[in-house]
Amino acid sequence: MLKTVSGFSKLNKFEKIDWLVSTFFNEDEKIKRVLEQYWNSNKVLQDLHDDFIENTISNFYIPFAIAPNFVINGKDYTIPMTIEESSVVAAASLVAKFWSTRGGFKAEVLSTTKIGQVHFMYEGDKKELQKYFNLKKEDLFKATESITKNMRKRGGGILAVELRDKTAALANYYQLHVTFETANSMGANFINSCLEAIANEFKKDDIQIVMSILSNYVPECLVRAEVSCRVEELYAENAELFAQKFIQAVQIANAEPHRAVTHNKGIMNGVDAVVLATGNDFRAIEAGAHAYAARSGKYKSLTNASIENGIFKFWIEIPLALGTVGGLTALHPLSKLSLQLLENPSAKELMEIVAVAGLAQNFAALRALTTTGIQKGHMKMHLTNIIKQLGASEDEKQFLIKYFENKTVTHNAVVEAYNKLVQDK
């Protein structure tokens, strides 16, 4: 059977599902029920979700959770997190409580500049191009005035436009490098609209505009978060050894890219969960953060640690282009709720909160790795998922949870314990 279709986008949701089930699932009515059981019973809310993207046939739910007890710059926060991975929220909550009694987290936005570029080809004389740019520069700003008017009222707008010669990297390649301030908006649509207006004003016969687009690499939209305490306050059993191993773990991530990728992935567990919960673009944040981790030419840790004069310090610097107005932040009910939970932060405040979530997650991971190991806590959290996969009853579930209270949890161990439980009945 052919698995291609014409005019699919014009079909209604029921017709899309009928085509899907008949083409891929042999008319299995169970598939329809699976898709339909995730529809929201509130039609207005379901219609809203259907309009977020194209060809919607159902909703894919990811748990929405909260991590309490965060103290950031002296203020208490309960942080919303949307993630499917076991132990992330628990780890964040435990670390938040730990640092709340040690002065909490300190966070500071270092800069908020965002970037967009007009990419073009030019085969003529470089000096003539520079003369043309100098002549047109004021007109480039004027061309965007109608777009930037409202943004300028909020303290944003275009900061600068530069002509950059990139011919060393690619023959005949130049760009207009444009920097922006977008206030509380992430600003993607604003930036792209400005760039297209600039490109249209700048183009001429011997300038071939290739594309105009924002960059998700924003090394000047940067936030720093940190925690610190005396070494002896870090760990009950052997604080000095723990601190030494903790710093060595960060050093290893800076020395070994294979480790650095997993190290930073753990940071992004915390970052992405808050970014997603607040209706921001976690793919853009991921791309920008990993590019920043490789800015030296070698992929390294986003966090660092030190001990000076008996004080342990742990910090992160990470680029975060976030918004608290526009996009899903104004449309998705849970995104709006998340921002209300955070007491309607500005974009800068949200940057600080998200950076703290990433730092907390990394602290939890490194503490586990350098003490008991990562799997003990992770598999304890994963235990209930394994039990569900086995189809255990509620009584069997409670028995297995109690059985593994002081035992190592592995998938095979849980399966064996479950099978024995069933056989002994």
Active site residues: 85, 265, 281, 378
Both tokens of 12, joined, read: 């209604």
Contacts of 105 (CB under 8 A, 6+ apart): 70, 71, 72, 73, 99, 225, 226, 227, 356, 359, 360
C-alpha–C-alpha distance, residues 207 and 121, integer Å = 6
Decide if 300 contacts 293 (C-beta within 8 A): yes
Query: Which segments of 21-91 are extended strands (E)?
Result: 64-72, 75-82
C-alpha–C-alpha distance, residues 414 and 424, integer Å = 15
H runs (alpha helix) in 121-179: 126-142, 145-153
In the block, which residue shows the tokens 């990139």?
166
Contacts of 141 (CB under 8 A, 6+ apart): 158, 161
Both tokens of 159, joined, read: 């900061």
Q: Which residues pair with 10 in a beta bridge?
A: none
Both tokens of 35, joined, read: 């898709």
C-alpha–C-alpha distance, residues 119 and 12, integer Å = 39
Query: Residue 327: which region, alpha, beta or left (left: phi > 0; alpha: psi -120 to 50)?
Result: left
Both tokens of 256, joined, read: 């070994």
Counting every residue written for the chain, the total comes to 425
Helix (H, G, I), strand (E, B) or coil at 32: helix
DSSP state of 329: G
CA distances from 425 to 98, 396, 420, 421, 422 (A): 44, 11, 9, 7, 5
Q: Which residues pair with 290 in a beta bridge?
A: none
Helical packing angle, 239-255 and 347-369, nearest 10°: 110
Nearest CA to 20 out of 75, 46, 65, 57 is that of: 57
Contacts of 194 (CB under 8 A, 6+ apart): 116, 144, 147, 148, 158, 178, 180
Element at 137 (helix H, strand E): helix 126-142
Helix (H, G, I), strand (E, B) or coil at 397: helix
